[in-house]
Amino acid sequence: MYVIFGANGRAGGETARALIERGEPVRVVVRRAAQGERWKSLGAEVAVASLDNAAEVSDALDGATAAFLLNPPPVVGDPFVQTTMIATALTEAVPRANLPRAVVLSSVGAQHASGTGVIATLHQFEASLLGIAPATAFLRPGYFVDTWSEVAEFAVSDGVLPSFLPLDQKIPMVSTVDVGQAAARLLTQHWTGKRTVELGGPDDWSARDVAAAFGEVLGRPVEPTWVPPDERSAILAETGLPAEVVAALLGMYDGIASGRVAHQDGNEYWRGTTPLTAAVKRLMT
């Protein structure tokens, strides 16, 4: 049985789907029972648990062969406090459940304790979960192509693509389809000890490349537009995010621009197969 936390999010959902398509037994873990109905229709078991509740997590892991674990993107409060709470629950629950194998979602750049904004929470997460299971893999994808869905409406309505990323800086980006496939591959492999697997798309891409992909999907030109740093806080605050989360997200973009969010030598490096245009088309549907 493969247990997937975060199944209603991007990476967790794609991981669960990838395993189901392989015919593997899957148990998804959701926060509310109603969220599990669509997974039941796909043949998955459903467990209800909060990631910061060790007893609930341990119950959800009962009988698992392997599990996909993650620290969900912060939306309220201090991201580092959230990370501590979830890591504490997992370090209690996973050994209690005798989980043989864990795949932990992380990020490119997680080797750094600072200078990467919200990604630094994943450095903390990795350090806390090191050795949590006899076989533990940290999966470090690049920037999710799916994140561009948050500004896709501007490409559709105005023919522009706002970007916090430097327009011509090519960075590791990847579709969450490929993240799910990579996580499923790791979950079904056999190894012992620690692994760190970094994941990119078929190529590294820039914001300008993404705008061109939007243009190809829409059948008309889309121009990337760089958003200056002094305008970003207000834009993110308008979405309702608290100041601590805004600061952490802005720190990530600073870390990317500085080149600090980058691959770490010595790790396994995998590339996905989903082309950029296909990834953009998928997030538009």
Which three-class secondary structure state does DSSP give residue 30? strand
pLDDT in tens, 154-203: 999 999 999 999 999 999 999 999 999 999 999 999 999 999 999 999 99
Region for residue 117 given its phi and psi (left: phi exceeds 0; alpha: psi -120 to 50; beta: otherwise): left
Burial 49-76 (b: 16+ CB within 10 A, else e): bbbebbebbbbbbeebebbbbbbbbbee
pLDDT in the model for residue 73: 87
The yes-or-no verdict on residue 36 having pLDDT over 90 is no
User: What is the pTM for the complete model shown?
Assistant: 0.95
Vertex 124 angle, CA 118 and 129, to 5°: 130
Structure tokens given for 178: 């490929």
So what's the pLDDT on residue 86? 96
pLDDT digit string, tens, across residues 211-222:
999 999 999 999
- The pLDDT score that the predictor gives to residue 77 is 85
Q: Give one DSSP letter per residue of 176-231, joined into a string.
A: HHHHHHHHHHHHTS---EEEEEEEE-SS-B-HHHHHHHHHHHHTS--EEEEPPHHH
Q: What does the pLDDT look like over 227-250, one tens digit per residue?
A: 999 999 999 888 888 999 999 999
Domains in the chain, please, with CATH?
2-284 (3.40.50.720)
> From CA 5, how far away is CA 2, in angstroms rounded?
10
Q: Quick one: pLDDT at residue 33?
A: 86
Residue 139 pairs in a beta bridge with: 105, 197
pLDDT of residue 285: 79
Which has the higher per-residue pLDDT, 260 or 74?
260
Tens of pLDDT, residues 1-35: 999 999 999 999 999 999 999 999 999 999 888 88
Contact 236, 250 (CB under 8 A): yes
Q: In sequence order, what are the beta bridge partners of 27?
A: 3, 45
